[in-house]
Amino acid sequence: MAEMVNIAFDLKMGTEAVRVALTVPAAPIAARRLLPLFQGIAHQVIDAAVGEAEARGETVSCKAGCGACCRQLVAVSKTEARQLRTLVDAMPEPRRTAVRARFADAVARLEQGRLLDDARRLDALSDDEMVTMNPRYMALGIPCPFLEEESCSIHPQRPVVCREYLVTSSPALCASPAFAGVRPIPLRAHLSRSVVMLEGGEGDYTRVVLATALEWSEAHPDDEPEPRPAAEWIDVVLREMTGRSIRGG
């Protein structure tokens, strides 16, 4: 049986601190195998934010069957883009071919809409270009390739950023490129931004537009980081999230 180690740290949210205790493999591990763990940490933050919203008398309006936000520009970490490709590759036929066809269609529609080049260089865009990027993307009406019957078909494995997007406003507003009146639940931390650091670093905050995740991961098969001990990966993410090391640094 694989040797395991225990890790514990305090996750501070506002004035509250949540003690997080994890048991992880001692042997080096690929970063993407830890994504479920990071999703779990993200939910600690999200659940706390939902609790605060409910205490203010607000109600989350997101529910199964509303895919309004799934036609927005969704940017994921490189690590999650690789994992989405692994997920699709593991799908049984004919589902795999159908999902792959939806990815190809999304890329073709981005190209027709003259947005593919910008989607491929998301983090090189200027602030002004970024401001207009999501409305331009939404105007094309491209559904996420995982959207089926207006619900997420990979709900348990969806990227962290999809988990973090919860609103208390009318669902219809999320479908409007103007985005006016949308009230997202404010989070004290965004783990979706921190997991980018699993394959990022000084001056490198590259994210991948979800609709291009397959083509990106197929174009980058050899530059996945070497496995590292889980404690090191967790430290990379939490240092980005909290500014503190879980290893006492």
Which residues are at the interface with ligand SF4 (CB under 6 A)?
Answer: 70, 74, 144, 146-147, 152, 154, 158-159, 162
Query: Looking at beta carbons only, is 4 or 64 nearer to ligand SF4?
Result: 64
Contact 50, 60 (CB under 8 A): yes
C-beta closer to ligand SF4: residue 9 or 146: 146
Measured CA to CA, the distance from residue 77 to residue 225 in angstroms comes to 13
**How far apart are CB 158 and ligand SF4 at their closest, in Å?**
4
Contact call for residues 38 and 237 (beta carbons, < 8 A): yes
Residue 39 CB, shortest distance to ligand SF4, in Å, is 12
To ligand SF4, the closest distance from the beta carbon of 58 in angstroms equals 21
CA distance 175 to 159: 20
71 or 234: CB nearest ligand SF4: 71
| 76: helix, strand or coil | strand
Helical pair 230-242 and 35-55, crossing angle rounded to 10 deg: 30
- Bond from prior residue into 28 cis (ω within 30 degrees of 0): no
User: What sign has the CA pseudo-torsion 99, 154, 148, 69?
Assistant: negative
Q: How far apart are CA 164 and CA 217, in angstroms?
A: 23
Q: Tell the smallest beta-carbon distance from residue 63 to ligand SF4 (Å).
A: 12
CB of 172 to ligand SF4, least distance (A): 16
